[in-house]
């Protein structure tokens, strides 16, 4: 690929050589990769990253490479599972293989409110501290960019529970909230001296459909617990105990898989509606980039 495109104009500014490799094992469990225990072998994935870097550099020594780190899996989960790959550890270990550090962050994946764009900026700052724990060191830091972030929206008709009552703010992934996230996002990345933002995504979408039978109050509880875990406001063991309690067990078995797969939820992420009309978030991103 580098051989083919290095002579094209404009030349590629950056090569992304893998995707969220630090969480490859967990990604294989829920189907984003072919499942294999080899993804949990840190030596293997490190050698993979190094080999891909060499493939680019051998063909074009001037080319820049990056890899986007998955940042949404809490450290508590890594500690409990004795699994390497927590993003702050991975960034430090893999710094020498990357010219640019890229991050993926979706702080509003599981709850719509509060809208949390500032979390994205905080993760840039956390990476900078991890890479240079001693502020007096003079070694230059790599540029840190956001390669993926987004805020889903609900299907236009989804504003109520299955019993007809209005959804609470935590489940109201609205266009207004999406626009607020985008506005705050670009400000947060700029304030954290991030190198830039790529938004996911620009395609048309119908909006997220609810789970079968519509949303329930149990769904609200599950999503709130997951959000607290991702924000490190609770620990993995507490969430596990909560999910396995008798009155939550049905929710855990029947409903939780729907929400755990939200990253792949078709129809929710696009900044255009199904008729290609820009959503509020599209205009907000346009204003922010200006």
- pLDDT digit string (tens) for 163-187? 677 778 888 888 999 999 999 999 9
Determine the pLDDT at residue 69: 98
SS3 for 103? Answer: strand
Determine the pLDDT at residue 251: 61
Determine the pLDDT at residue 264: 46
Average pLDDT score over the chain: 85
Dist CA 203 CA 188 (whole Å): 24
117 C-beta neighbours (distance < 10 Å), count:
22
Residue 204 pLDDT more than 80?
Answer: yes
Residue 6 pLDDT more than 50?
Answer: yes
The burial of 129, by beta-carbon neighbours within 10 Å (0-12 exposed, 13-18 middle, 19 or more buried), is given as exposed
Dist CA 60 CA 273 (whole Å): 40
Determine the pLDDT at residue 237: 63
110 token code pair: 């599981």
Mean pLDDT score, 224-245: 63
| Number of domains into which the chain is organized | 1
Residue 257 pLDDT more than 60?
Answer: no
124 token code pair: 């840039």
Higher pLDDT, 256 or 83: 83
Q: How confident is the model at residue 71 (pLDDT cuts 50, 70, 90)?
A: very high
What pTM does this model have? 0.87
- Helical H runs in 95-216? 118-131, 175-191
Q: Whole domain around residue 168: which residue ranges?
A: 2-289
Determine the pLDDT at residue 176: 92
19 C-beta neighbours (distance < 10 Å), count:
17
Q: In the chain, how long is the greatest CA-to-CA distance?
A: 63
Mean pLDDT score, 246-257: 59
Looking at the chain, the whole-number percentage of residues with pLDDT higher than 70 is 77
For residue 32, the domain's CATH number is 3.20.20
Nearest of 193, 181, 194 to residue 288 by alpha carbon: 181
Of the listed ranges 104-108, 185-189, 233-237, the one predicted with least confidence: 233-237
Mean pLDDT score, 79-106: 95
Residue 84 pLDDT more than 80?
Answer: yes
Main-chain phi, psi angles of 104, to 5 degrees: -115, 130
């Amino acid at each position: 690929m580098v051989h083919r495109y290095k002579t094209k104009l404009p030349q590629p500014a950056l090569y992304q050589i893998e995707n969220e490799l630090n969480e490859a094992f967990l990604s294989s469990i829920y189907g984003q990769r072919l499942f294999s225990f080899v993804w949990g072998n840190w030596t293997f994935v490190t050698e993979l990253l190094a080999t891909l870097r060499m493939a680019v550099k051998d063909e074009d020594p001037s080319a820049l490479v990056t890899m986007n780190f998955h940042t949404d899996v809490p450290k508590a989960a890594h500690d409990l599972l004795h699994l390497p790959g927590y993003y702050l550890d991975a960034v430090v270990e893999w710094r020498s293989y990357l010219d640019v550090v890229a991050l993926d962050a979706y702080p509003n994946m599981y709850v719509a409110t509060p809208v949390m764009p500032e979390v994205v900026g905080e993760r840039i700052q956390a990476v900078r501290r991890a890479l240079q724990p001693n502020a007096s060191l003079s070694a230059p830091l790599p540029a840190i960019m956001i390669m993926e972030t987004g805020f889903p929206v609900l299907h236009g008709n989804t504003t109520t529970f299955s019993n007809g009552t209005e959804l609470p703010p935590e489940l109201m992934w609205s266009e207004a909230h999406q626009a607020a996230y985008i506005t705050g996002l670009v400000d947060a990345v700029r304030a954290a001296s991030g190198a830039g933002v790529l938004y996911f995504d620009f395609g048309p979408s119908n909006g997220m459909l609810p789970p079968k039978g519509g949303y329930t109050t149990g769904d609200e509880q599950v999503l709130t617990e997951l959000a607290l875990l991702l924000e490190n406001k609770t620990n993995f063991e507490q969430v596990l105990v909560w999910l396995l309690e008798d009155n939550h067990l049905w929710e855990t078995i029947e409903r939780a898989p729907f929400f755990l797969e939200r990253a792949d939820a078709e129809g929710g992420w696009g900044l255009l509606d199904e008729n290609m009309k820009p959503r509020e978030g599209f205009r907000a991103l346009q204003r922010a980039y200006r």
